[in-house]
Amino acid sequence: MSAPYQAAFEAVADALPGNGSWRRAAMQGLTFPGRRDEAWRFTSAARLLATEHAPVEGSVELEGAVPLLEGPRDAVAKLGRAAGTEGFQGLNAAFFRGGALVHAPAGARVGPVRVKLGGADGLTTPRVLVVAEARARVEVLVEHTLGSGLHVPVIEVFAGTTASVSLTHVVRGEGGHAVVRIAADLGRDARIDVRSFVLGGSIVRVELTSTGQARGALDARGLVLGRGKQHADHHLELQHASPGMASHQLFRNILDDRARAVFTGQVTVAPGVTGTEATQQANTLLLADGASAVVRPWLQIDNDEVVASHGATVGRLDDEALFYLRQRGLTVSEASRLLTGAFASEVVASVPDAFREELQAAVDAWLA
Amino acid sequence: MLELVDVHAEIDGTPILKGLTLTLGAGEVHAVMGPNGAGKSTLSKVICGHPDYTVTGGDIRLDGESLLGLEPEERAHRGVFMSFQHPVEIPGVSTSYFLKAALNAVRTARGEPELNAVDFLKLAREKMKLVEMPKELLNRSLNEGFSGGEKKRNEIFQMAVLEPKLAVLDEMDSGLDVDALRTLAAGVNALRAPDRSMLVITHYQRLLDHLVPDFTHILVDGRIVKSGDATLAKDVETRGYDWIRKAG
Ligand SMILES: Nc1ncnc2c1ncn2[C@@H]1O[C@H](COP(=O)(O)OP(=O)(O)OP(=O)(O)O)[C@@H](O)[C@H]1O
Ligand SMILES: [Mg+2]
């Protein structure tokens, strides 16, 4: 039996744009996580690969961004420098046809930019490249609407020296599977904020990796709203590769019915790297008996010179808070909605002004 | 207005109220005192329908209608309000948003039109003056990080906005400094009305100096063991509860 997607690749390879040898190398090296892979212990790669989907071009709508391969050569040259080709990313590297480039020259302010990527009933592999040169500031929203197939986008974010990038990332959809890779690269004194919302899809995994230069700071927040049998996995692998780097994680899962959330927040501080700070908080609110969450902090710190803290909670709505609200006249459902919305509020509040209202509306609609 | 008739109530199978009988007429203020653990907060919560408590006997009636089958919010809609001994902190829910929702729920139940944001703010500002509540508190998360005194102020403020028929004030004076005590007692006094009854639970005569009750009751071990006028509280202040226990 040949490897998955091999034949499909041969059939379309010649028609794909860009560097053919890079694609071919990615395809040849393509391997998928197996059952024993710790990083995939709670999300079944086998289920994502159970059906081989035909590669198709999903829709790409851009507001303030340019089509990926039409951007300035220097910027486009960064493709593949933050993301790799292992696992599902390799599928993207082999098959991607286009996507979006958001480029901010040195000192520029760019945004709000909107990139809307549609899934389909096949394999969709768009790519987004965000390049903020030194001192630039970028605000971008990337929104995925899943189809019934497999959506495997790769988003690479480069923040140059003292640049700052804010990426608001939203996954919606009735069903469909997705493995999203967000690869962040922090320049010296740069800052990247990622706000990741998983509001739909049936199996969704969002992977965030980061590394960088001295004093680069990553602030990652996420919200999962799950019901039915939805499965959402936030998987973070953050490297504190340079002195003074910081990472902050705040993730909230709100799960109803039989929904399940997985959170892994791996922080690796390399030996000898001093003065770094890592915080992590992952809180889950279970609205039904059948809902569940797995939270793994995975702080791997071989280093005394790090300030690290983490906390994880899994709980239900607070009965005393519910009673307080009901005593004042709110019905059980109004009171629950208010408390559930409050649980999400810290993450929603951290979204930039330009996008906050639409995310608040999405959360409210889910709660209604 | 409020009748408690031989009320028996338990929590997790432990009987706490053991045949409690008490009647409040319209417009009356009744004080309830009693030692720690006597069941005063239990009484408040049972009147409001707290789901942890089971009423195993007797009846609680408001204007002749039993409250027992009603949910907490249905009781609130009929005009029952309780000031919590320990108000709950609710991060992420703004005080003003919550209170507007609560007021409109109560107004709808009374057949009154809902207030819009502007009219609500106007009303809220006016009532905040009554209890000298700092304006900022309205924009903060409900009770989150409020000092003990601010929480109590917020409770009486909410009472002023919601205009209940029956107010159960469970230790509204605990944690208050002397000035705050005077202010809040004056606020509650201003809310006395011919169609509003109040059940004021306290450990201290001090509150009752400002908020003079029509009747005082002593609650020991789940029962009212002695009732009297405002002077009964003074006796408790000087003599404690032992003489009542012995006499009972
Ligand atoms: N879950 C429970 N199981 C058993 N007993 C309980 C439970 N919860 C409360 N109690 C008991 O009920 C009794 C009455 O408590 P309550 O809070 O009503 O007292 P109180 O009169 O308000 O006291 P205080 O003056 O200290 O506020 C106490 O002895 C308390 O320990
Ligand atoms: Mg008490």
pLDDT at A205 over 70: yes
- State the Cα–Cα distance between residues B96 and B118, nearest whole angstrom: 12
Count Cβ–Cβ pairs < 8 Å, chain A vs chain B. 74
Give Rg (Cα) of chain B.
18
Atom of ligand 1 nearest to the CA of B85: 27
Q: Is residue A346 part of a domain?
A: no
* DSSP 8-state code for residue A40: G
Model ipTM value = 0.97
- Whether residue A115 contacts residue A61, with contact meaning beta carbons closer than 8 Å, is answered with yes
Q: For residue A80, what are the contacts with CB-CB under 8 A and spacing of at least 6?
A: A22, A93, A156
Question: Do B52 and A325 lie within an 8 Å CB cutoff?
Answer: no
Q: Domains in chain B: how many in total?
A: 1
- List strands edge to edge, sheet with B197-201: B80-83, B166-170, B197-201, B29-33, B215-220, B223-228
Comparing alpha-carbon positions, the chain B residue that sits nearest to A324 is B88
pLDDT value of position A1: 43
Q: How many Å lie between the alpha carbon of B22 and the closest alpha carbon of chain A?
A: 22
| Domain CATH number, residue B49 | 3.40.50.300
Domain that holds residue B94: 2-247
B71 interaction partners in chain A (CB closer than 8 Å) = 326, 332
B37 alpha carbon to ligand 1 midpoint, in Å? 5
Q: For residue B224, what are the contacts with CB-CB under 8 A and spacing of at least 6?
A: B20, B21, B22, B32, B217, B218
Q: Is residue A262 part of a domain?
A: yes
B114 interaction partners in chain A (CB closer than 8 Å) = none
* Among the ranges given (A152-156, A279-283, B230-234), the one the predictor scored with the smallest mean pLDDT: B230-234
In short, whether B158's Cβ falls inside 6 Å of ligand 1 is no
Domain that holds residue A147: 6-316
Q: Is residue A78 part of a domain?
A: yes
> What would the pLDDT profile of A276-305 be if each residue is shown by its tens digit?
999 999 999 999 999 999 998 877 766 666
pLDDT at B163 over 70: yes
Comparing alpha-carbon positions, the chain B residue that sits nearest to A336 is B93
Other C-beta atoms within 10 Å of B139: how many?
Answer: 10
pLDDT value of position A309: 78
B152 alpha carbon to ligand 2 midpoint, in Å? 14
pLDDT at A306 over 80: no
> What would the pLDDT profile of A118-128 be if each residue is shown by its tens digit?
989 999 999 99
Q: Is residue A306 part of a domain?
A: yes
> What would the pLDDT profile of B66-118 be if each residue is shown by its tens digit?
999 999 999 999 999 999 999 999 999 999 999 999 999 999 999 999 999 99
Comparing alpha-carbon positions, the chain B residue that sits nearest to A346 is B92
The mean per-residue pLDDT over the stretch B134-145 comes to 93
Q: Is residue A339 part of a domain?
A: no
Question: Do A320 and B76 lie within an 8 Å CB cutoff?
Answer: no
Q: Domains in chain A: how many in total?
A: 1
pLDDT value of position B248: 53
